[in-house]
Structure 1
Amino acid sequence: MKKLRAGLALTTAALLVLSACSNANNGGNGGTNANAGGGASGTGNVQASGATKEPEETPDPFGKYAETLELSVIYDRNPESEKSFIPGSTYESNWTNDFWLDKLNIKPVVKWSAPSGDQFNQKYNLMFASNDLPDVFILKSTDNKQSARSMLKRLVDADMVEDLTDVYAKYASDEVKEYYQTFENKALDYAAFDGKMYGLPSQGDTYANVQILWVRQDWLDKLGLQPPKTVDDLVAVAKSFKEKDPDGNGKADTIGLAMQNQFMDPSFTDAVSIFNAYNSFPKNWVKDGDGKVVWGGIQEETKKPLQVLADMYKEGLLDSEFALKDGNKEAELITSGKAGMQIGSWWNGSYPLTFNIDNDPKADWKAYTLTTDNTLHAVMDFPTNQFLVVKKGFENPEAAVKILNFATKSSHSGYQETVDRRNELDTQYGRDKVDAPTIIPNFGIAYLDTTLRSVKLFEDIFAGKAKVDDLTVGERQIFEGSLQPNHDNPRKDPGKYKDYINWMSALSAIAHSTLDIKWNAFNGSTPTYDAKMGSLMDKQLTAFTKIIMGKEPIDYFDAFVKEWKAQGGDQITQEVNDAVAKEGS
C-alpha cells in the first residue's frame, strides 16, 4: 500500500517538496522585506536574542554572498530514488548545486552520505555523540523513540546548535513568514526553548488527511435516500443498503458498511470517522480538559462508538467476518459490489473503489463527512516533525534562512529557471527523471490546508470565478491533466476518473467542512512504552472486537480500562506526561 499510495494523483503538497529543480511552480513573487510580517519575535514564546553573530551585510532575504560560502551537508541516500537521477547527476555535482551557487554564491560540500536505513541512522546518531556536525542539516527522528523536538532540546542543552531567533527575524522572506503565520507561528514556537528559536521547523499540508465516508451514490439515488451527515444517518443508510436490495439482483446479499479487523487504523475500510464523531481518538495520545496527556482508547467517549458498532454488527450492517479480514480482504466486498459504504481517506478513489468502478460502470462513489454539530472532528500528528538547524559556531547561520527562502519561493512561487529546467527534463527524459537533491531534500513548509485551497480554486475555475492562470505549475498539472478534461463527463476516461473523484468529491467534501483538529500529544516512546505498549494495544483491539461482535457487553469496556491501567498503562501515561513536560510543550 505504501507504493500504491505514493503513486496516486499528485497532491499540491507532494509538489511542494523543497527541491529547487525537481518540483517547480510558477506564480507570484514573495516579498523581500525582512521586517514585514512579524516573524519569530512576533510569536508568543520566541524573543529577540543576541546570541548569534551579527552579519556585516545589510539583511537581505535573497542576498548573494560576495565570496563563495562553502556549506557542509549530509545526505540520506536512497538507492531506489537514485535510479531516477538524470545521467551525470550526483549529490556532489548537479544542476541544483549550480542554482545555489548562482543565486546565493553558496557551494554545498558533502561532508558524508550513507544509504537509507540502518547505515544512515547509525552514522547520523554517531555524529551527535562525537559532536561532528555539518554546517546545516535536517534534524529528524530515526527510531521513533524520541521526537525531533526532544532531539532538538538535547542539542540545545548541549550547546551544539545556533540560536536562530535574530537571523530569522532579519532574513526570513515575507513568503516564509506568511506560511508560518497561517498556523499562528505555532511551528516556530515548537522550535523554541526559553524564548529562543533553535531551528527552522517543517510545516506540512495536513488537513486533507482527515477520514471521510465514501458512499455508493447510485444506491442512494435508487432508494431515494439523502447522503448521511451524522453517525445516525450512516446507520439508517446502512440499514437500507442491507434490506432494500440496492443492487437490484433480488438477493439479500449486500451490507451497509465495509469494515476491516484493524478498524482503528486510518486508511480504508476503517471506522475512524465513527469514533471521531464522538470525540473518541482510540489510538492517539490527546490532552484532556486539564491539559494532561491521556490515551484515547480508555476515555469514556470511546464507549458510545463501540456501542454503535456493536448494534450495527448485531443488525447485520457490518461484515459478519470482519474480525478475520485485513483491509485488502475486506475491500473485496467493495470490488464485488456487495458493500455500499466505507470509511477511509481522500485517495480511496484510486484504491479500493476504482476496482468496483472497473467492474461495474454504473457504480458511482461520492465522499461525505461525518459531523457532530456540523463539525468534522479529527486528530492528527503535529505538522512539524523536522527542523533545519545550524551547528554551533558556524559563522553564517543566516544561510539556512536564505536557503529556506529560495527553496520555498522555487517550490511555491517559482523561478523561471526552475520551470525551464523541469520542462527540459520532461522533454529529454520524461517526468520520471530528476536532478539529484541538494541541501534540504524532503524538507518543506506549506499551508496546513494547501490541498484544500487548491481544490477550492479548481471549483472557482469551473464556476467562472477564477482563471487557469491563477494556478501554480503543480496545480495546473493536476487541473489540466485529470480534472478539466473530465469535468463535463467525469467517466470519459476511466483511468483519470479516480483522480477526479479524489479531488472533486473527497477533497472537496473536506474543504467545505468545519474542522476541529486535535493534535496527537505524544509521538515518542518511554521505557515502559517500549516494553508494554504493544501488548496493551493488542489487548485493546481484542476487547473492542469482542464488544462489537457481542461476545462481551458494553460494560466490558470498563473492565478493559482497569486492566489496561494496571498492566502498565498508568506507568506509561506517567512517563509520557513526564516526557512532554521535560520537552517543554
Structure 2
Amino acid sequence: MNRLKQTLKKCVAFGVTGIMLILAGCKSPAGFVSNDNEEYNARMEEARTTPFGAYPETIEYTLGKMTSVNNSNMPENDTYTDNAYTRYIKSVINVQNVDVFEANDSQYDTNVSMVISMGSLPDIMVVSSQDEVEQLVEAGLIEDLTESYNNCISDRIRKMYESYGDSLKDMVTYDGKIMALPETNITDGPNLVWLRKDWMDKLGLSEPHTIDDVVNIVKHFISEDPGNNGVDASGKPNTVGLAVDTDVTGECGYSSEFLLDIIFACFGAYPKQWIMNDDGEIVYGSVTDEAKEALSYINSLYNQGVIDNDFLLRTSTNICELIENGLCGSFFGPWWAPNNPLANAVSRNPDADWQPYLIATDSDGTTSYHSQNPCYKYVVVRKGYEHPEIAAKMISVMFDKVRFDCTDSEEFKNYYQLNVEPTARPLSINVDYNNALSICYRNIDATISGRKNPDSLELLERSFYDACSEYIKNANKTSTQWAAYMSRIKACSLIAQDNIKVVDSLYFKTTDTMKSHWWRLKAKEKEAYLKIISGEEDISYFDRFVKEWNEQGGQTITSEVSESMK
C-alpha cells in the first residue's frame, strides 16, 4: 500500500492522464472482503449502519484532497494522510484516505472539474458549488446518500443541520434523495466597525452608535492626527479614512473585511443579494433605488475624505499594512478581524487599542444585515462505491466525537494552538450549529464568570477559553491571546445581541443565462459602483448602468431566479 500511495502522488504530476489512470485502477483499494465469520459480518453490518461503529478491517478510500499552503500549519512530519484527524478517524471507525490528488485553492477546483468532465471520480471528494452537485446528479456519477444520512449521521450532527431549517437539506435533495452531504456556513452576524479607541480617548470622543457617529470619529482621526502620522509633502494627512476594498460589498458567501455593507443597509440596500422587496418581488439588490441612494451618500463620504481616497489603488495586503503601521484607525469588518489583520497590528504596537462597535442601521436602533449562503461545499461519493456511508461517518467523527469527546486530547489542543487549518481534515469542510458563534460566546463567558465548569466545554470552546483566561490573567499578553479575547468575547458579545435583524438572501445557484452573462454583468456592476463612489461619474450614471444591466441579461436572469423560487 505504501507503494500505491507513492504512485498516487507521482500521478498528480502527470495531470489529467495521470489522474484518470489512477482512478481507473483504484476504484476501491480495500473494499468489502467476503467472510463467513458471524462476528465479522455482524461488526461489518454495525459499521455500515451506525455513526461510530468500527469496520472489522481497515477500509481505504480514494480521496480528492483540498490542501493549503505551509502544509496547513500541521506539525512537522504530519501529512494529509497521516495527521491527528486521520489517525483519530482510523482509531474510531477504521478508515483511511488514499489521496488521488492534493491541491489547494483554484487548482483543487480545476482538478475537480477535470475528474467530473472525465466521468471518473475518486471514491469521495468535496465540490465547491451546488451547480457541480447538480451536474454530477444529472450525469449519474454520484451515490444516493439518503440511507447513509439516516443511519450514519449522529444525532448531534443532525441537530446541527436542522438548526438551518430546511435550507441545507433542500440544497442536496433531488427527487427525494439526498445526493450530497453539506458543510455548514455559520451565521457571522453583521460586520462591526473597528476603531482605534486609544485615538478616541485621546480626542475625547464617545463610542459610536450610528453611521453619523462613525463619520464624525473618522473626520477627527484625520484632522487631529492622534496617531502623530503627520502630513506628506503636499500637506495631505498621512492618516487615511475608512479602509475600503474595491469589492465595496460582500457576496453571499463568507464574511469579509473592508466592505461597506453596513452603510448600504442603512438605506435598506443589499447589493449582490437576491432579496424580496416590499412588493413581494425578488430583486437583485445592486440595481434598486435604495442602492442608488446609498451610493450617493458613499460618494459624499469619499469627497469628504472619510473614505480613503486612494482605495481604488489598494490591495488587501496594502490595507493590512496601513493598519499595522498605524496609518489607518477605522474599517468595517467581521467578528474575526482580530485574527487578521489586527493581531499583527497589536503585536507591532501593543498600545493600539482596537475595539469593535455595533452600528444601528435602522431608525428603531436595530442592525440589519443580509444572510449568507448556508452551504458552500458539498461532500459527494462516487456512484458504485462499496462504502458510501463512510462520508457520513467521517462527518460524525470529525464534528461530533472530536469536538465533544476529545476535550483532553493534547494532540488536538496542540493543533488549535498551532492554528492548524481545516484543510488538514480529510474532508475540508466545517459542520456546526447555525448560531455556533453565540453558543461559543455564551459558554466561554459563563465559564470565565464562574457560572460554568471549564470541564463541560467542548474542544474548540475549551481552547478559546484557555486563551481568553490567559489574556485576562496575564500582564504580558500575547497578540494571539488578545485576538482570541477580542473576537470570541468582545466582538461576539455584540453580534449575540437581540437588536439584530436578518434580511434573507434567497438565491445561490446559477441560472442558464448566468452561465454566459453573469461574469460580464458583475464586471459592469463593479465598474459602475467604483466610478460613482470615486466621482468619475455622477449619481445619474446609476440609471444608465441599471438600464444596460437589464438589457444585457439582467432582466432575463431576474425572471429565471423568480421562476425558480416559485
CA–CA separation in structure 1 for the residues paired with 2:440 and 2:64:
32
Instruction: Give the match for residue 490 of structure 2.
Output: 505
- Alpha-carbon spacing, 1:499–1:167, altered in 2? closer, same or farther (3 Å): closer
Partner of 2:393: 402
CA shift, 1:109, in A, is 6.4
Residue 271 of structure 1: aligned partner: 260
8 Å CA contact 1:164, 1:198 repeated in 2? yes
Cα distance between partner residues in 1 of 2:58 and 2:229: 73
CA distance change for structure 1 residues 328 and 71 in 2, over 3 Å: closer, same or farther?
Answer: closer
The 2-side partners of 1:335 and 1:95 are apart by 34
The 1:240–1:513 alpha-carbon spacing in structure 2 relative to 1, beyond 3 Å, is farther
CA distance in 2 between partners of 1:95 and 1:491 (Å): 31
Partner residue, 1:229 = 209
Match of 1:541 among 526, 535, 540: 526
Greater shift in the superposed pair: 499-508 or 86-95 = 86-95
Distance (Å, rounded) in 1 between the aligned partners of 2:168 and 2:131: 14
2:249 maps to 1:259: no
Structure 1 Cα separation of the partners of residues 351 and 333 of structure 2: 21
CA contact (8 A) 2:192 2:334 kept: yes
User: Which structure 2 residues correspond to residues 133-172 of structure 1 after superposition, within 5 A?
Assistant: 133-135=121-123, 137-141=124-128, 147=129, 149-172=130-153
In the alignment, what sits opposite 1:214?
194
Cα distance change, pair 199–268 in 1 and its aligned pair in 2 (3 A): closer
How much does 1:334 deviate? 4.3
2:441 corresponds in structure 1 to: 455
1:35 paired residue number: none
Show structure 1 runs of 5+ residues with no match.
Answer: 1-54, 142-146
Inter-CA distance 480–559: structure 2 relative to 1 (3 Å threshold): same
Is this contact kept in 1: 2:188–2:334, CA < 8 A? no
8 Å contact from structure 2 (residues 193, 332) kept in 1? yes
Q: What do residues 146-201 of structure 1 show as CA deviations (whole Å, max 9, x unaligned)?
A: x3x33333433444434333443344322111111222243122211233322222
Describe the SS at the equivalent of 1:366: strand
Residues 49-83 of structure 1, C-alpha deviations (whole Å, 9 max, x = no match) = xxxxxx96695443344x53745322326485659
SS at structure 2 position matched to 1:502: helix
The residue that corresponds to 2:540 in the other structure is: 555
Change (3 A) 1:62 1:207: same
- 2:295 and 2:532 in contact (8 A); partners too: yes
Spell out, residue by residue over 1:9-38, the C-alpha distance to the aligned partner (whole angstroms, 9 max, x if none): xxxxxxxxxxxxxxxxxxxxxxxxxxxxxx
Q: Quote the Cα distance in structure 2 between the aligned partners of 1:350 and 1:96.
A: 24
TM-fit CA distance, 1:119: 7.3
1:557 aligned counterpart, secondary structure: helix
Shift of 1:573: 4.0
Cα distance, 1:574 vs. partner?
A: 4.8
Look up the match of 2:374. Answer: 383
1:412 aligns with 2:403: yes
Equivalent-residue separation in structure 2 for 1:86 and 1:505 (angstroms): 30
Distance in 1, matches of 2:108 and 2:317, equals: 33
1:207 is paired with a residue of what secondary structure?
A: coil
SS at match of 1:317: coil
| 1:516-531 superposed matches below 5 A | 516-518=501-503, 520-523=505-508, 525=510, 529=514
Assess if the C-alpha contact under 8 Å between 2:68 and 2:423 holds in 1. Answer: no
- Residue by residue over 1:438-488, the C-alpha shift from the partner in whole angstroms, topping out at 9 and shown as x without a partner, is 7x421331112323322232222232222322323333333323x222225
Alignment of 1:97-108 (within 5 A): 99-100=88-89, 102-104=91-93, 106-108=94-96
Give the distance between the partners of 2:68 and 2:339, measured in 1 at CA. 27
Aligned to 2:52: 62
Deviates more, 1:240-249 or 1:458-467: 240-249
Root mean square deviation, CA, Å: 4.2
| Residue number among 41, 54, 61 corresponding to 1:72 in the alignment | 61
| Aligned with 1:345 (options 309, 334, 337) | 334
Q: How far did 1:366 drift?
A: 0.9
CA separation in 2, counterparts of 1:305 and 1:352? 27
Shift of 1:299: 1.5
Change (3 A) 1:107 1:277: same
CA contact (8 A) 1:277 1:370 kept: no
Match of residue 198 from structure 1: 179
Matches within 5 A, 1:32-111: 60-65=50-55, 67-68=56-57, 70-76=59-65, 78=67, 80=69, 99-100=88-89, 102-104=91-93, 106-108=94-96, 110=98
Deviates more, 1:508-517 or 1:176-185: 508-517
Q: Tell me the CA shift for residue 112 of structure 1.
A: 3.3
For 1:464 and 1:217, the matched residues in 2 are separated by 29
**Residues 106-140 of structure 1 deviation map (CA, whole Å, 9 limit, x = unaligned):** 444638335457876566445445654444x2341
| Higher alpha-carbon deviation: 449-458 or 236-245 | 236-245
Q: Are 2:164 and 2:374, in contact at CA under 8 Å, matched by a contact in 1?
A: no
Q: Residue 20 of structure 2 aligns with which residue? A: none
CA distance in 2, matches of 1:199, 1:123: 19
How many residues are matched? 510
For 2:72 and 2:316, locate their aligned partners in 1 and report how far apart those are by CA, in whole Å: 31
Partners of 2:82 and 2:350 in 1: CA distance = 50
**Bigger RCO (CA 8 Å, 6+ sep):** 1
Q: Shift in Å at residue 397 of structure 1? A: 4.2
Task: Name the amino acid aligned to 1:226.
Answer: S
Residue type of the alignment partner of 2:492: L
Do the aligned residues in 1 keep the contact of 2:74 with 2:418 (CA within 8 Å)? no
Which amino acid in structure 2 is aligned with residue 189 of structure 1?
D
Tell me how far 1:273 sits from its aligned partner: 1.9
Match of 2:314 among 306, 325, 328: 325
Q: Distance in 2 between matches of 1:512 and 1:131?
A: 48
Are 1:480 and 2:466 matched, yes or no? yes
CA distance in 1, matches of 2:65, 2:304: 52
Q: Distance in 2 between matches of 1:231 and 1:121?
A: 40
1:256 offset after TM fit, Å? 5.3
Q: Check conservation: 1:206, 1:448, Cα contact below 8 A.
A: yes
Given that 1:180 and 1:186 are in contact with CA atoms closer than 8 Å, whether structure 2 keeps it comes out as no
CA–CA distance in 2 between the matches of 1:95 and 1:339? 40
In structure 1, what is the Cα distance between the partners aligned to 2:132 and 2:366? 36
SS at match of 1:264: coil
1:493 and 1:202, CA in 2 relative to 1: closer, same or farther beyond 3 A? closer
**Amino-acid identity (%):** 28
Within 1, Cα distance between the matches of 2:104 and 2:443?
38
Distance 2:325 2:107 in 1: 45
Question: What is the DSSP-based 3-state SS (H/G/I as helix, E as strand, rest coil) of the residue aligned with 1:313?
Answer: helix
Q: 1:511 to 1:491 in 2, by over 3 A?
A: farther
- 8 Å Cα contact 1:269-1:331 kept in structure 2: no
3-state DSSP of counterpart to 1:346:
coil
Which AA in structure 2 matches 1:237?
Answer: I
- Larger helix share, 1 or 2: 2
Q: Which runs of 5+ in 2 are unaligned?
A: 1-43
Q: Report the TM-score, using the length of structure 1 for normalisation.
A: 0.72
Amino acid in the other structure paired with 1:150: D
Corresponding residue number in structure 2 for 1:182: 163
Structure 1 counterpart of 2:145, one-letter code: L
Identify the residue that residue 565 of structure 1 maps to in structure 2: 550
- 3-state SS in 2 of match to 1:183: coil
